[in-house]
Structure 1
């Protein structure tokens, strides 16, 4: 049986690919179980400095497998899906969601657990929980308003409207939109820029941004000073290499 989530490592980059292309990469407990194991493995893998999450075939993912929902999923524990995405979100290395084609509802919740989204021009987004009389339990109500603002999040959740990559960029959901023909190259270029910088700084900055999100300015500034993680073990080598260029 083929893996439901593939992992490919390349020069410090780990590419995780949702691998149910015949089902538009719809999300099942099995997919989450494999994604969760990859996240666990990546957390302590010092050979990896950046992670890309994407989908095989025609799209990123059409969302939660409605067939699984109708049949009654056997979830290992309450909140297990949400916990898995939280593990992805708090990985001590940058995570990019590379979205092409469909990215609906549960799939959007997965993408929002990444640090940011790069979208192909073909990308289509939407939260359809309300269309099916469902409510989010994978993080939509928390991550979407933090990304796009609460009024926009309400509009998207209440209308269940689908929207394209240009609108995703306009509202701040996507960080970058690129032509489909340039999608792979753009992902690689972004990953290389990230990998060129210090993994120590990336991990420390993620923790800093996480800890101070939504704090008032003064307490955030205080946290930055008092909880500062200092300098990384690669600082001297990096500064030395820069000085030698002169």
Structure 2
């Protein structure tokens, strides 16, 4: 049986691939179960310092499988999809959503749960919940405005328009756009730049950023002071290596 989400580890980078290319990686309960299993394994896997989530075939994902929705898909519990993405979001290591081709609606909700989105030139983003008389329950209403601002989030959600890669970069939906033919190489280079730095700092910084997101500035500054986790166990070694250059 074909794995719905595959995993490949390479020099500290974990490549997770949504693997239903014949269905444009349309998201099903089975795919979320597979993703959740990988996320659970990665939480305590110190051999991995960065996670890249991508799609097999022509695109990242065309979104939530409409056939599954129409047939009344069975989920383990209310909010289970959202909970799964929250678990990925809270991994103590950076997560990159690598988007090429379609990234629509539920797929965009998945990508938004990553720390950042890197796009190929072919990437296309859209929220089509309103097109199907649906409302988001995987995090769109919370993460999209935090990423692009409330007014832009409303525009995308109310019009269901498709946004090309360069426009996604302009509005802050993605952090970079790369040519399709060098996309995977650029992803690897980006991840390796992350791996050059302290895994301790990455985990601590994610917790600090998470804890005060959208809080008042003064409250956030106080939290940073009181909850700061100090220095990592490899600080002295890193400084020594630098000063010896």
2:244 alignment partner, SS class: helix
Equivalent residue, structure 2, for 1:98: 98
Shift in Å at residue 181 of structure 1? 1.1
The 5-angstrom pairing of residues 1-246 of structure 1 reads: 1-245=1-245
Aligned length: 245
1:16 alignment partner, SS class: strand
Distance 2:206 2:120 in 1: 25
Distance 1:201 1:60 in 2: 29
Distance 2:49 2:230 in 1: 19
Shift in Å at residue 188 of structure 1? 0.6
Distance 1:216 1:157 in 2: 26
Distance 2:154 2:140 in 1: 11
Shift in Å at residue 174 of structure 1? 0.5
1:172-217 deviations in whole A, cap 9, x for unaligned? 0010001111201110110000000000000000000001111111
1:35 alignment partner, SS class: helix
Shift in Å at residue 81 of structure 1? 0.1
Query: What's the Cα RMSD here?
Result: 0.5
1:146 alignment partner, SS class: helix
Q: In structure 2, list runs of 5 or more residues that go unmatched.
A: none
1:23-82 deviations in whole A, cap 9, x for unaligned? 000000000000000000000000000000000000000000000001110100000000
1:189 alignment partner, SS class: helix
Shift in Å at residue 107 of structure 1? 0.1
- The two structures have a TM-score, normalised by structure 1, of 0.99
Distance 1:210 1:163 in 2: 27
Distance 1:15 1:116 in 2: 15
* Moved >2 Å (runs of 4+): none
Distance 1:219 1:142 in 2: 20
Distance 1:203 1:73 in 2: 35
- The two structures have a TM-score, normalised by structure 2, of 0.99
